[in-house]
Amino acid sequence: MDSSVPLHDPSPGADSDSVAGTFFHNATAPRVNTDAIILNTIHHKHPGVPVTIVPQGSCNLKGYAQAGHASIEAVGPDQAEHHVWPETLKWTYFIPPARRLDGGNGTVADQFFFESYLYKWKDFTFLVYFADGRDGDTSIPRVRNQYVLGDEAAARMLVATVGRFDSTLHGEIWVFNKGYWQKDPQLYQSITKARWEDVILDKSLKEDIIDTVQQFYDSQDQYSRLRVPWKRGIIFYGPPGNGKTISIKATMHTLYNRDPPVPTLYVKTLAGFGGPEYSIDSIFAKARQEAPCYLVFEDLDSLVTDKVRSFFLNAVDGLSQNEGILMVGSTNHLDRLDPGIAKRPSRFDRKYLFPDPDFDQRVKYCQYWQKKLQDNKEIEFPDEICPAVARITDDFSFAYIQEAFVSTLMSIAREEEGVDTARVGGMPELLDSWDVLEIADGSPLRTFGQDKDLDDYILWRKLKYQIDLLRKELSEDDDAS
């Protein structure tokens, strides 16, 4: 059923009778309610045609069409008697590639402030005007409305269909940033590479975390029988560089593999146009809507400051139901968290310490590098180096030990002509995959001349030098704090 919408006023008058003319005239002076004046002009230009006003934030018609579920056709310039107005107002700008290493050239994109087009969905055709209503400097949030002309019942079906599509994830993660929720496909791609097998943790700690998370989502009936709220909170804490973030990502990956999948809601910041209190309301409203879900507050101590602590606690404990929400907060500084957050049961009731690795874990981490380099014939890496490195890296995080190996191998690649710099220098698989705990103890992976002193190996000499530099850096950080 096609809507019969006249594309041009059959008896045009002054420029203000044009929808585009109204928009451009209104944009040249202080404006009051762009929405109302645009609607008034549409009614005058298309008398008797139903108009459905649809905020773009809740129903993105162009996004739905770009996903292949509808089509868009341009219409001619919006004409008035004495002037031909532009059919669009847009900015065209260049977006650099997200990673130059990926070989991308970037893209050219448009940001629209006014446009009109024909929208074809199923058997319906609508005329759509889009207008960005920035009324002075006070329009917060900005009003970006789509004016859908055509059969009202069909338009409402379209809004429902597109709205359901927009509110569902399609290979994305919900991320809260700058005061609103947005879908992040890049973060989703990142978590699909995170596996628990690649997380370096004490085996019992890893199993406990996995079991706690899985049991929560498997236990709704048990919570109901016990008449306790089906919600939990977990804190990952400890010095940086020891697996908190990769554990969160591995959990996200595991939950997306459940049937049905459990979505993650990732909170990046509480800053936004409405202030942190508005952000907290928006975060928990979305979490309740998406429940059961996994709600992540990374660097919790920097997010929940003294200014918003009470508001945050009310959102966690308030009258609104938080059923099905498993919160996880990570922090490098547990002591900076308010006791009401860190020690109060029913808020964050489980805490997992991610400590610096002990001697055995440091040995195994060195064995991980030994295993990854075992095909490189230019680098001698005997078993004896592993415990030797572990002995001189006490108080080092995994991240610091990794830095020692990366810097060492890069230094060797630069100085030794015989070393394959592509193999040693790139090492993408070394940095993306931590499977050291799967290496079995027992016979050496690789040995060299037993009569050699450790100082005879360039790898050991370079590692000692880099570890000494990092040790000094750690000391300076301790003195500064």
389 in any annotated domain: yes
Same domain, 347 and 375: no
266 in any annotated domain: yes
Nearest to 382 by CA among 446, 318, 427: 446
Range of the domain at 307: 184-353
10 in any annotated domain: no
319 pLDDT higher than 80: no
Question: Across the chain, how many H-helices and E-strands are there?
Answer: 18, 13
387 pLDDT higher than 50: yes
Of 327, 353, 379, the last residue of a domain is 353
pLDDT band at 450 (very low <50, low <70, confident <90, very high): low
The pLDDT value recorded for residue 453 is 86
Q: Spell out where 37-179 has E strands.
A: 51-55, 71-74, 89-95, 107-121, 124-133, 143-149, 173-177
Q: What are phi and psi of 183, to 5 degrees?
A: -90, 135
Same domain, 328 and 363: no
The pLDDT value recorded for residue 200 is 75
Same domain, 380 and 330: no
Four-CA torsion 437, 439, 442, 448, nearest 10 degrees: -120
Same domain, 385 and 325: no
The pLDDT value recorded for residue 433 is 42
Mean pLDDT lowest for which of 96-100, 307-311, 366-370, 411-415? 96-100
Report the relative pairing of strands 173-177 and 264-267 from DSSP bridges: parallel
For 10-47, what is each residue's pLDDT tens digit? 333 444 568 888 887 777 777 677 888 889 999 999 99
177 in any annotated domain: no
Same domain, 316 and 203: yes
- Average pLDDT on 42-53 reads 94
The winner for highest mean pLDDT among 2-11, 126-135, 137-146, 244-253 is 244-253
More confident residue, 185 or 417: 185
19-26 and 34-45 helices cross at what angle (nearest 10)? Answer: 160
Nearest to 351 by CA among 202, 208, 191: 208
Of 301, 335, 353, the last residue of a domain is 353
Same domain, 272 and 419: no
5 in any annotated domain: no
Of 334, 353, 372, the last residue of a domain is 353
Query: What CATH number is attached to the domain comprising 327?
Result: 3.40.50.300
Query: What does the alpha-carbon distance between residue 403 and residue 422 come to, in Å, rounded to a whole number?
Result: 18
Cite the DSSP H helix spans in 257-334.
275-290, 300-303, 309-317
Long-range contact list for 78-81, CB < 8 A, 24+ apart? 78/8, 78/18, 78/19, 78/20, 78/21, 78/116, 79/8, 79/12, 79/18, 80/9, 80/12, 80/13, 80/14, 80/15, 80/17, 80/18, 80/21, 81/12, 81/13, 81/14, 81/15
Question: Order of strands, edge to edge, in the sheet holding 264-267?
Answer: 180-184, 173-177, 264-267, 293-297, 325-331, 231-237, 350-353
178 in any annotated domain: no
Mean pLDDT lowest for which of 162-171, 174-183, 279-288, 436-445? 436-445
The pLDDT value recorded for residue 119 is 96
Same domain, 162 and 215: no
The pLDDT value recorded for residue 377 is 82
How much of the chain exceeds pLDDT 70, in percent?
Answer: 81
Same domain, 128 and 107: yes
4 in any annotated domain: no
173 in any annotated domain: no
Same domain, 116 and 196: no
pTM over 0.85: no
Same domain, 248 and 375: no
Same domain, 124 and 191: no
Q: Give how many domains the chain has, as a whole number.
A: 3
Same domain, 47 and 128: yes
